[in-house]
């Protein structure tokens, strides 16, 4: 087989029409979804120990999905965040997250 023959057989994803690509992806997902958990070979994946989990760190590049909402906040509270924080919306989100995490651990 010559190099020319090989080049002719290469199919790049951008050469496949978008609709066909989406259909192929959907079929792949459906096929994977049809596999039962007990049929997956995990023999080459050792169990993670508690000690390993204790050293785990959150992905520093992870960004949670955010929803835009309308929220009523007391005027003085909003004024305080706006006055003390350049990115006041981020600071409000951090305060809410801290509150949620504290209550998750308590329950």
pLDDT, position 5: 57
Domain that holds residue 9: 3-106
pLDDT of residue 31: 96
**Helix (H), strand (E) at residue 77:** helix 75-84
Predicted local confidence at residue 15, as pLDDT = 82
- Total of domains in the chain: 1
pLDDT at 6: 57
Q: What is the pTM of this model?
A: 0.45
Distance, in Å, from the CA atom of 21 to the CA atom of 28, rounded to the nearest integer, reads: 11
Record the tokens describing residue 63, joined without a space: 């960004």
Q: Measure Cα distances from 47 to 4, 95, 103 in Å.
A: 47, 36, 30
**pLDDT tens digits in sequence order for the chain, 107 residues long:** 566 555 667 778 778 888 998 999 999 999 999 999 999 999 999 999 999 999 999 898 888 889 999 999 999 999 999 999 889 999 999 999 999 999 998 87
Tokens of 100: 């949620």
- Say if CB 20 and CB 28 are below 8 A apart: no
């Amino acid at each position: 087989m010559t190099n020319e023959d090989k080049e002719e057989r290469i199919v790049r994803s951008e050469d496949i029409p978008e609709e066909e690509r989406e259909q192929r992806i959907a079929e792949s997902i459906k096929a994977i979804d049809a596999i039962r958990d007990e049929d997956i070979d995990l023999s080459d994946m050792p169990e993670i120990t508690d000690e390993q989990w204790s050293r785990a760190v959150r992905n520093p590049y992870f960004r949670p999905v955010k929803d835009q909402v309308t929220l009523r906040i007391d005027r003085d509270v909003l004024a305080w965040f706006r006055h003390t924080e350049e990115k006041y919306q981020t600071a409000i989100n951090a305060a809410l997250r801290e509150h949620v995490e504290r209550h998750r651990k308590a329950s």
